[in-house]
Amino acid sequence: MSRVLLVDDHPIVLQGCRRILEDAGVAEVLEASSATSGYRTFLRSRPETVIVDLALNGNRLGGLDLIRRMRRHDARVPILVLSMHTDPHIVSRALESGATGYVLKEAGPRDLLAAFQSVRAGKPYLNHEIAVQIAMLGSRRDGGPYGNLSPRELQMLTLLADGKTYGEIADSLSVSYKTVANSCSLLKEKLGARNLPELIRMAIQYVSDSPENISGTRPSLAAG
């Protein structure tokens, strides 16, 4: 029997995915709307394939922990991430956590089905654009000055490049002003910037050189 577990807290997404999978001949589609219920269903039902969103119940990357927990329990089950995040750092973290493939929510039914069929067969799946961004990210990590920065630090660089103040960055990332100030001080140390204007110039350089800018997208700050 073909059994698939969908974990997403958006009912419309669940409904749409269920219809696509059932039309493709999947015999049983299980649903969960949280990481907790998703993991319980995973343990109880032993699905052959899992499709999971990264943003669950207000935690924009809560799906990563769920992937790691499922992977510790079963090293072979195919796990497909279905997310709106296009940031290659986030995609990399999902793959490092144990995801077999990654497909965007903006993709059409054919792309979702192709991704599902690929991971179900035990083959990794990334669309071409994301694969190129991951490759370029790897080349930057090998020798670039931004390779040791966290995804949150890179988000701060992007916001600095957009001309955001510390207060506006704090609001965008839902953190305190002090957290942003301390993080930017650490960024100056990591990147060798002598002052804030120099850090901003480096931030602008990072954005202009990044594949997110080339492809017309930027690191996402919204849940999805």
Residue 202: pLDDT above 90?
A: no
Tell me, what's the pLDDT at 221? 39
> Based on C-alpha coordinates, what's the Rg of the chain?
19
What are the tokens at 219? 């690191």
Q: What is the DSSP letter of 76?
A: S
CA atoms 61, 66, 71, 72: torsion sign: positive
| 83: β partners | 104
Residue 96: pLDDT above 60?
A: yes
Domain boundaries, the chain: 3-134, 144-214
Residue 75: pLDDT above 60?
A: yes
What percent of the chain stands above pLDDT 90? 48
Residue 223: pLDDT above 90?
A: no
What are the tokens at 117? 């069929």
Distance from the Cα of residue 199 to its chain's centroid: 26
pLDDT class of 224 with cuts at 50, 70, 90: very low
| CB neighbourhood size of 110 (10 A) | 9
pLDDT tens-digit readout, 104-136? 998 889 999 999 999 999 888 987 777 767 766
pLDDT tens-digit readout, 20-45? 999 999 999 999 999 999 999 999 99
Q: Lowest mean pLDDT: which of 63-72, 197-206, 213-222?
A: 213-222
Candidates 113, 109, 129; CA nearest to 49 is 113
CATH class of the domain whose range is 144-214: mainly alpha
Q: Whose structure tokens read 């202009």?
A: 208
Q: What is the DSSP letter of 46?
A: -
What CATH code would you report for 3-134? Answer: 3.40.50.2300
Distance, CA of 103 to CA of 48 (rounded, Å): 18
- Average pLDDT (65-69) is 94
Q: Looking at per-residue confidence, does 211 or 107 come out higher? A: 107
- Buried residues in 122-133 as b, exposed as e (16+ CB within 10 A): eeebbeeebeeb
Matching fold, domains 3-134 and 144-214: no
pLDDT tens-digit readout, 141-181? 554 667 677 778 888 888 888 888 899 999 888 889 999 99
- List the Cα angle 67/68/74 in 5-degree steps: 85
What kind and span of H or E run contains 106? none
Tell me, what's the pLDDT at 45? 94
